[in-house]
Structure 1
Amino acid sequence: MTRVHTGCVQGVHAVCLLFWGALGVAADPISLDDFVDADPAQARIGQLLFYDKILSGNRNISCGTCHHHDHAGGDGLSLGIGEGGTGVGPDRTIGDIRKRVPRNAPALWNLGHNSVDVLFHDGRLEVSDQFGNGFDSPAEEWLPQGLDNIVAAQALFPLTAQFEMAGNPGENDIAGATHDRIDAAWPILAARIRAEPDYVRMFTQAFETVDEPLDITIVEIGNALGAFITSEWQSFDSPYDAWLTGTPLPDDAERGRALFFGEARCAACHSGPLFTDQGFHALGLPAFGPGRTRTFDKMPRDVGRMGETDLLSDAYRFRTPSLRNVALTAPYGHNGAYPTLRDMIRHHADPTAARAAWTPAMAALPVTDRFLGVDFVIQQDAREMARQSAVLDINPVALSDAEITDIEAFLHSLTGATADTRPLGRPDVVPSGLPVD
């Protein structure tokens, strides 16, 4: 089978549809050779760091809090409850947070695949030589050299995010340093790790660059986290993978596969081995939440890719997510607008009608009086709603209830047989002695 790619979205060409319908596959089968290398000893350190709250400003949240093993690498919420919250997953409570995390916590499946060269919903981290460190990122030239891959680089940014892990100015030295300059907090975090003898011992054994505690920098921390994420969340043993090598799918999933690659046009964007073109598209999802506000734009809206590029042509466009294990990672959309796969399929089939029928009750948002005036206020701005409605990159397609059911069955066939059995899993304890979520 030959790897294929298409950019057909709005105004999709008939030839493109015939091509996808005839071929009916996304790519060659995936193998371990398609992933970046990860040292097992470094991954073991990364597992502990991933769940260790020592990397947060107030020592009260870890990477694993919002990307938990019990929730398939996510948190089960539409918009995350970051620094200041309590608990895990849909049961996490608001606590003392000042603001919801403005976007849905993305799943981590197969981020170590060699095809991945852009991350975050708005693509603000990309593989690039622009700044001489291998990446175009929010840290620009201040991102240190030596990070092994894009996942190692990505792991550093939640640590500096106020509402995710850093905390609020005045609360701790991490938050204060981050507000001075994005890279100023990383040496402080590295010093915390160097103060833990167990971490020092493991880093010294696992990294050739580390001979003494002072050799442990944010680069080694990022590379350990990257080694864990890229190896822990590999998944390519689904019924669809078996189909690629000759095992038939169940009848309903087979009908859904034919629709996915054919008349339903799903593969126009969800293409390639991970079922993503890594591009940016406007789906016209219902708007809510605090928005990803910018210094000069305090409206509670999320302009998507435009927030990174400042190009009007990128407004309200978000990165195409991978669909592998998608049945495990509800809710769906960059803001978690839809609670089920069926709801999301219906939206793709008729975005305008689905958006009009959407209700706030569909969002998984733990209720608090503090945010009642914020969560849905953007929907009262008629001009902003008109702007968002006007940008749409998918054309409606008529799908019957039975066809939606079949596509849903196909998406379930993308769930790995061992998706719930991870190599390392969640540790019971971490070197800092802080509680593990």
Structure 2
Amino acid sequence: MFNLCQTRYRKHHQPKQQKFTHTLSLFIIIHLIFGISQSYAFDLPKPLTLDDFITFDQRQAKLGQLLFYDKILSGNQNISCGTCHHHSLGGSDGLSLGIGEGGSGVGPKRTPGIGADKIKKRIPRNAQALWNLGAKEFKFMFHDGRLSKSDLYENGYNSPAEEWLPNGLTNLLAAQAMFPVTSQFEMAGNPKENQIAGATHDRIDHVWPIISKRVRNIPEYGDMFINAFDHIEDAADVTMVEIAEALSAFINIEWRSYDAPFDEFISGNTNALTSAQKRGLDLFYNKANCASCHSGQLFTDHAFHALALPPFGPGRTRRFDPFTRDVGRMGETDLLEDAYRFRTPSVRNVTLTAPYGHNGAYPTLESIIRHHLSPLKSLQQWEPKHANLPDVPWVSQIDYLVHDDKREMARIESHIDIKPLTLEDDEVDDLLSFLTALEGKTAHKLPLGRPYKVPSKLPVD
């Protein structure tokens, strides 16, 4: 600022060459300070800091680490949160549509089970990665945003549990942790298999007391809850709310990531990005128009968009919907204009979370980028071989019913929120290079990691 004022003061007292030299020097100084000489159609975000995340208690996070990998939270005690959101797979499972309760193993090698324990249905949507879900700016959870902050039910949230969601949940991430345990095909199990599975078909809030009793009756867990929560004086006081709070504390600290080369660049280090990454950044914020949706510090506008992703699998339907399909946000709002819209995912650490799309339709970043460039053509040319679906013969007959339904495909084709765009192959390569600059340097060295054992003594995936 001093140099700028000094230049203005002297402008009438210096030769033309000196004025040019001062102007050029000022430009260089600004370039060195901010690391940005390019103009962008969309503003570059400011760096993320700890203040951008909800606060957490380290004792609760350590407790949450154990609960996250403990199968005691599931109906048949055979699957944990970590099974489908594993450390070795970037907080996801590497599958297009996951294999939930009843399966065995982790990731692409997970098998669908045998006999009476075998799965009855694929998980309808791709297992979302967990990166930065503890950020304060998140407004919705799940692909369709069916969980959000709201006073509608006087408990702080608009959720599938409606008025039955208990009070006391301090953040959106904790509220989210309440629901996988209630899902038949994710963690609860099938009716008549266990007490939890039966309860979830009775009323959703009947599930949580059963789970919390299981947990607090293990002495090690009881002591940890008393130590981690100031208001818990006796293990008998532990509820699903405290379990969810501990899980959210763990997810918040474990998958927090903002030390990528891009973060160094926006903090002023012009050498943090390669030439290809800088060209990709320019495309991302200008010609390719990526930042119109993948905006801000977390690279998401927290909104819902219809991209005409190829449909397959059972889909997540409304209770009265007779079709094997997935209508996205409309399933929550019942508004026709929300049909086939899904929440914009963050692309931080996106290099670690293949496959891509709300149903994992595309196996590589390049393939999902090319879909964005020509969604209708890409939808029409997509082939089932692109989906990473483990072989499950007894459910495979419905895997592509929706994809073969001409009327449903026509409806999807009529709901597209993005316009076609032409990029050269080398420009796509540069975009891919930029996306690698969003991978955190410590993304493979997370603070707590996967525990080797848990208090229930059940096996850890």
TM-score range, shorter chain: over 0.9
1:152-202 deviation per Cα after TM superposition (whole angstroms, max 9, x unaligned): 010110000000000011100001001111111000000001110000000
**What is the aligned counterpart of 1:128 among 136, 150, 154?**
150
Tell me the residue number matched to 2:266: 244
Please point out which of 191, 195, 206 is paired with 1:169. Answer: 191
Residues 1:218 and 2:240 aligned together: yes
Q: Is the 8 A contact 1:24 1:258 kept in 2?
A: no
| Alignment-derived partner of residue 43 in structure 1 | 61
Q: Is the 8 A contact 1:21 1:261 kept in 2?
A: no
| Deviation at residue 246 of structure 1 after TM alignment | 1.7
1:92 corresponds to: 110
Q: Deviations over 1:300-322 (max 9, x none)?
A: 10000000011111100000000
Equivalence for 1:17: none
Is 1:409 aligned with 2:427?
no
User: Is 2:245 the partner of 1:227?
Assistant: no
Report SS of the residue matched to 1:369: coil
The residue number in structure 2 matching 1:290 is 314
Deviation at 1:24, TM superposition (A): 5.3
Structure 1 Cα separation of the partners of residues 201 and 395 of structure 2: 25
Amino acid corresponding to residue 243 of structure 2 in structure 1: I
Structure 2: distance between partners of 1:21 and 1:387? 39
Give the residue type in structure 2 aligned to 1:200. G
How far is the alpha carbon of 1:133 from its aligned partner?
Answer: 1.2
Residue 389 (structure 2) aligns with: 365
Gaps of 5+ in 2: 1-37
Q: Distance in 2 between matches of 1:423 and 1:127?
A: 29
Aligned-residue Cα RMSD (Å) equals 1.0
Tell me the distance in 1 between the aligned counterparts of 2:152 and 2:239: 23
- Partners of 2:442 and 2:338 lie apart in 1 by 37
Alignment match, 1:277: 301
- Aligned equivalents of 1:196 and 1:222: distance in 2? 17
**CA distance in 2 between partners of 1:372 and 1:55 (Å):** 28
Aligned to 1:109: 131
- Cα shift at 1:25: 4.2
Aligned position for 2:74: 56
Write out aligned runs for 1:366-385 (5 A): 366-385=390-409
Q: Would the aligned equivalents of 1:26 and 1:275 in 2 still touch at CA under 8 Å?
A: no
Q: Matches of 1:147 and 1:217 in 2, distance apart?
A: 11
Q: Structure 1 unaligned runs (5+)?
A: 1-19
Give the structure 1 partner of residue 46 of structure 2: 28
Q: Deviations over 1:44-101 (max 9, x none)?
A: 0100000000000000000000000000100000001000010001111111100000
Match of 1:188 among 205, 210, 228: 210
Amino acid at match of 1:301: R
CA contact (8 A) 1:284 1:355 kept: yes
**What is the CA-CA distance between 1:23 and the residue it aligns to?**
5.6
TM-score by length of 1: 0.94
CA offset digits 1:281-302 (Å, max 9, x no partner): 0000001001112321131100
The answer as to 2:360 corresponding to 1:308 is: no
Contact residue 363 and residue 386 of structure 2 kept, 8 A: yes
Q: Which has the larger radius of gyration?
A: 2
**Post-superposition shift, 1:134?**
1.0
Whether contact under 8 Å (1:21, 1:263) holds in the other structure is no
Q: CA deviation at 1:355?
A: 1.3
What is the SS of the residue equivalent to 1:79? coil
1:254 is aligned with what amino acid? K
Q: Is the 8 A contact 2:44 2:266 kept in 1?
A: no
**Matches of 2:378 and 2:432, distance apart in 1:** 17
The answer to whether 1:77 aligns with 2:121 is no
Distance in 1 (alpha carbons) for counterparts of 2:424 and 2:152: 48
Query: Is the Cα contact below 8 Å between 2:120 and 2:395 reproduced in 1?
Result: no
Once residues 178 and 43 of structure 2 are traced to their aligned partners in structure 1, the CA distance between those partners, rounded to angstroms, is 35
The alignment of Structure 1 onto Structure 2 pairs a total of residues equal to 418
1:115 and 1:368 mapped to 2: Cα distance? Answer: 39
Quick one: distance in 2 between partners of 1:156 and 1:167?
16
More displaced 10-residue stretch of structure 1: 308-317 or 23-32: 23-32
- Structure 1 92/21 Cα, relative in aligned 2: closer, same or farther at 3 Å? farther
Task: Provide the C-alpha distance between the structure 1 equivalents of 2:456 and 2:51, rounded to a whole number of angstroms.
Answer: 35
CA deviation digits over 1:396-437, x for unaligned, max 9?
110111111100111111000000111100000000000000
> Which one of the candidate residues 440, 450, 456 is aligned to 1:426?
450
Q: Secondary structure at the match of 2:167?
A: coil
What's the CA shift for 1:245? Answer: 1.1
Distance in structure 2 (CA, Å) of the matches to 1:138 and 1:167: 18
Shift of 1:22: 2.4
For 1:293, give the aligned amino acid: T
What amino acid is aligned across from residue 199 of structure 1 in structure 2? Y
Aligned mates of 2:320, 2:419 — CA distance in 1: 33
Question: CA–CA distance in 2 between the matches of 1:146 and 1:53?
Answer: 24
Q: Note the alpha carbon deviations across 1:104-146, whole angstroms, 9 max, x for none.
A: 0001000011111211000000011111111110011111111
CA shift, 1:21, in A, is 5.3
In the other structure, the counterpart of 1:6 is none
* Secondary structure at the counterpart of residue 183 of structure 1: helix
Match of 1:67 in 2: 85
1:119 aligns with 2:141: yes
Report the 3-state secondary structure (helix = DSSP H, G, I; strand = E; otherwise coil) of the residue aligned with 2:403: helix
Q: Which amino acid aligns with 1:313?
A: E
Calculate the TM-score normalised by the size of structure 2: 0.89
Q: Which residue of 2 aligns with 1:15?
A: none
Q: Distance in 1 between matches of 2:89 and 2:138?
A: 23
Name the counterpart of 2:379. Answer: 355
